[in-house]
Structure 1
């Protein structure tokens, strides 16, 4: 009698483990950088501003008391929360031309994520534009609607050339041509 291998015992490469990610693909809390955490807390604060109309100082005090805030980059959080609220009109002016619907129909989560992305691209030049984009996509995946991250990606990719043209051109120049 000959032996046959069942599909479960056949030799195939082991699955690569995705460390730092949950089963849904979201990053695990322990693997986030202090700046990623700052973005998350800023997003929560911006949501409070957009939905509740809460003033920035009240949001700031409330957020600093939340569990896990001590692991966030407080300086980056301050910059994002206060900067986005202070420059809301300027950030909206960058975003609105790229929307396919009125700003009032954009989820407050996606709007806040786009504010963070536009603000970082404008003011946090030490953060590469691709990092800003990836971080915002992750925020939208974790906190936004089902396909909100795709919308955020499209809008922020549309903003990037006007805010980070030289950096994007430098990236293109470094990319090997096929």
Structure 2
């Protein structure tokens, strides 16, 4: 069964919100997941993807944070606002673990969510960090894309 890009996009949208809630409240992941299924119309959401993101990202926090913190320029990881942190974790997870999703899609989705939920211009920061994460974890794909567009 193929999943529509819109259903995947909604899964990311809700996963980012759920991860934000988890970061802010430390509530159990299963409780947050149940709340999202109760409070939102999940009929047009890739719920399997939502569930994967919501459960796997907290399990890999130190690895995911370590994968992007070296690219934060002048900032410290603990200075990141919770939305930026949730988006970087989500996108870094996808870049590292979901090679079936093109890296440009991962970055574009994170930038789009940052424009919607993040602080002013946070999308530019997120784009810059994720470009570097992609170069490291998707080097072959990034190089292939650059060669084909030149």
TM over 0.5: yes
Alignment of 1:111 onto 2:111: no
Bigger share in helix: 2
Q: Find the residue that maps to 1:70 and give its secondary structure.
A: coil
Aligned length: 145
Unaligned runs of 5+ in 2: none
Point out the more displaced range, 41-50 or 95-104: 95-104
The residue aligned with 1:97 is 70
The structure that has the greater radius of gyration is 1
Unaligned runs of 5+ in 1: 1-31
TM (normalized to structure 1)? 0.78
Q: How large is the RMSD of aligned CA atoms in angstroms?
A: 1.2
Q: 1:170 aligns with which of 118, 121, 144?
A: 144
Q: CA separation in 1, counterparts of 2:68 and 2:149?
A: 28
The question of whether the paired residues in 2 share the 8 Å contact of 1:42 and 1:77 is answered with: yes
The question of whether the paired residues in 2 share the 8 Å contact of 1:41 and 1:69 is answered with: no
Q: CA separation in 1, counterparts of 2:106 and 2:29?
A: 23
Moved over 6 A (4+): none
Alignment of 1:88 onto 2:58: no
Q: CA separation in 1, counterparts of 2:28 and 2:64?
A: 18
